[in-house]
Chain A
Amino acid sequence: MTYQNVNRGRSKKRSGYLKKKTEPYLYLLPTVILMVVLLVVPIYMVIQYSFFDNVIINDNPVFVGFQNFQELLTNESFWVAVKNTLIFVGGSVIAHMIIGITFAMVLNTKYIGPKLKAMFRVIFSLPWMFTAAVIAVLWKMLLNPNGFINFLLVELNLSSTNLEWLASRDLALFSVTMINIWAGYPLFMISILAGLQGIQSQLYESSAIDGANHIKNFFYITLPQLKPILISLILLDFVWTIQQFALIWMTTGGGPIDATEILSTFIYKQGFSEYQYAMASTSAVILLIICTIVAIFYVRHQRGQE
């Protein structure tokens, strides 16, 4: 406090004290208002919707308790969406990690100079720079029955016919997962690269003295050192992939039939093409619960690192 305060009266001191107490909250006020309007109220609303029938369309919806949940959990299409979501998310996260570690280690090599390395880092990060709409049209073109991927496969004698990557029920889920793998690995790669650069070189030096080879180094030094970053990345990627909507919506729309239907496209269709807003809200609440559980693990993990 400054010397000017000495001359101030008691009331002024009091108001100064009050001001000091409220000041930090005033700076937070816009954020808090936005969070309440955009987060707290909508979450309250969506949970409320899940306990009513005919919300939004009907002015006087009826409270039905857990009936929506019962109905949803016995709905076959919902379980198809859950199964597809698990395959899509599991495949994406595992492949993101493998590709991320491999490319990060290649970019961390000492065989090429820093300028070349920077160039390769930009090229390897390319998928990151495109929005889902662009990635969707790009891969629809590449995976077209007459597209480049089929041309390669036929030329290399790996396939005798032009495969319907996105339009066949057997291949579509595999194809959209591949597209999502392509779109998402750079986050892993760049984060792991930062992690690799943080590993102290003495660790490798002392293991070299012990005569350890590259494979041993990888499993006994590199992986354990990367563990905290990898766990963060897996949890984050899980939450992000489970809510992926744009890529699937623009490539297959959840089809053919329900072959690539995941939870987010299921929710969207329930709401915006079938006008079953209560059902859509119920599935949204289930998705929210899953993401919240994963987020709790994530926060605990981050706290544990401190």
Chain B
Amino acid sequence: MVGEKKWYIKLITFLLLAVGTIFSGFPVLWMFLNSFKPNSEIFAWPPVWISDNFTLNAYAQILSDPEKIRFFINSYFVAFIVVILTLFVSILASYSFSRFNYPGKKIINTLIISVQAVPPITLLIPYLSLVVALNLYNSYGALILTYLLFTLPYAILMMTGYFNTLSKELDEAVMIDGGSRFRALWTVLVPVAVPGIVSVGMYTFMLAWNEYLFALALTKTTEFRTVPVGINLLMGQHAYEWNQMMAMSILGSIPVLLLFLFFQKYFIAGMTSGSIKS
């Protein structure tokens, strides 16, 4: 392997790079190109790459429809609140896990980790009863509350790991000056933990932004529906406006795409946190 240059290994590598690029990139490229075509050319045979009738119509139609704008506002709002709540609750819990030793710690920790194995669909029917009982059916509250269950375990796991890397002397310095632990956490630890918090926040945003099942089942009117449900509603709403579906898909993917491109390292840390032990 070392220093050895075998032409066929090189050839296979470049071939696979090409295959992988087409496999992963072409569907995305096709979505992008189709969002600029008139609907009649989507299934043209042979396919049209860049239409002579290049148009931004699909985007204009999505962005001028108050109902679709509402989906975007809902998605941003729900994801934003979920991020804030997740960060607050997970910072407190992670502080407890990272700085104290006490009976029951392991059991609670295992319970939190075990959430990852619970299929959302098994909770859907009890959630429906609970949400109706709490008078939250078809509201932001139903989505925000239920999303917390799936964002918190990752957030607590990642934050605890991050706090563990920070020296205990940091918070002890505040306490020697007569400050409480609570103050030490928020005035000293949290500012130092910003990279970890950003990473947790982004991953939480993505989970909330992408969620489909609860958004579908726990809301009923377009007033509270989110982008994933909105994209699916476009299918069959009129006679399949493919160009609009593609435009809305692009618009709905932009937040996560931007987060990924600018914060790749943090992102990958979040998504692979289950499989890799550091």
CA distance A236 to B116 in the complex (A): 9
Contacting pair A146 B272 (CB below 8 A): no
A219: CB under 8 A from chain B? Answer: no
Which chain A residues lie closer than 8 Å to B252 at the CB level? Answer: 131, 133-134
Closest Cβ–Cβ distance, residue B259 to chain A (whole Å): 9
Give the nearest-CB partner of B105 in chain A: A24
Which chain B residues lie closer than 8 Å to A43 at the CB level? Answer: 118, 122-123, 126
Contacting pair B14 A111 (CB below 8 A): yes
Contacting pair A27 B93 (CB below 8 A): yes
Which chain B residues lie closer than 8 Å to A176 at the CB level? Answer: none
Contacting pair B27 A182 (CB below 8 A): yes
CA distance A208 to B1 in the complex (A): 6
Instruction: Pick from A137, A191, A291: contact of B246, CB below 8 A.
Output: A137
Which chain B residues lie closer than 8 Å to A208 at the CB level? Answer: 1-2, 4
Which chain A residues lie closer than 8 Å to B23 at the CB level? Answer: 182
Interface of A is mostly: helix
A158: CB under 8 A from chain B? Answer: no
Closest Cβ–Cβ distance, residue A58 to chain B (whole Å): 13
CA distance A25 to B107 in the complex (A): 13
Kindly specify which of A73-81, A163-171, A277-285 makes contact with the partner chain: A277-285
A67: CB under 8 A from chain B? Answer: no
Contacting pair A124 B24 (CB below 8 A): yes
Contacting pair B89 A281 (CB below 8 A): no
Closest Cβ–Cβ distance, residue B114 to chain A (whole Å): 6
Contacting pair A232 B117 (CB below 8 A): no
Instruction: Pick from B27, B43, B93, B175: contact of A2, CB below 8 A.
Output: B175
Instruction: Pick from B2, B21, B92, B102: contact of A30, CB below 8 A.
Output: B92
A147: CB under 8 A from chain B? Answer: yes
A253-306 interface (Cβ within 8 A of B): 264, 267-268, 271-272, 277, 280-281, 284-285, 287-288, 291-292, 294-295, 298-299, 302, 305-306
Interface of B is mostly: helix
Kindly specify which of B61-69, B196-204, B260-268 makes contact with the partner chain: B260-268
Contacting pair B246 A268 (CB below 8 A): no
CA distance A129 to B25 in the complex (A): 12
Which chain A residues lie closer than 8 Å to B272 at the CB level? Answer: 187, 190-191, 194
Of the candidates A24, A288, A291, the one having the most CB atoms from chain B within 10 angstroms of its own CB is: A24
Contacting pair B119 A32 (CB below 8 A): no
Contact with A along B124-137 (1 / 0, CB 8 A): 11111110000000
Which chain B residues lie closer than 8 Å to A207 at the CB level? Answer: 1
Contacting pair A130 B96 (CB below 8 A): no
Contacting pair A129 B253 (CB below 8 A): yes
Contacting pair A147 B126 (CB below 8 A): no
Closest Cβ–Cβ distance, residue B68 to chain A (whole Å): 13
B176: CB under 8 A from chain A? Answer: yes
Contacting pair A151 B126 (CB below 8 A): no
Contacting pair B119 A264 (CB below 8 A): yes
CA distance A146 to B47 in the complex (A): 10
Give the nearest-CB partner of A56 in chain B: B129
Which chain A residues lie closer than 8 Å to B216 at the CB level? Answer: 249
CA distance A194 to B47 in the complex (A): 39
CA distance A205 to B1 in the complex (A): 7
With A27-B92, A106-B16, A129-B260 known, 9 other A-B pairs at CB within 8 A are A34-B152, A106-B13, A134-B253, A142-B27, A144-B43, A148-B47, A195-B276, A236-B116, A287-B121
Interchain residue pairs A-B with the least CB separation, the first 3: A295-B117, A243-B119, A24-B100
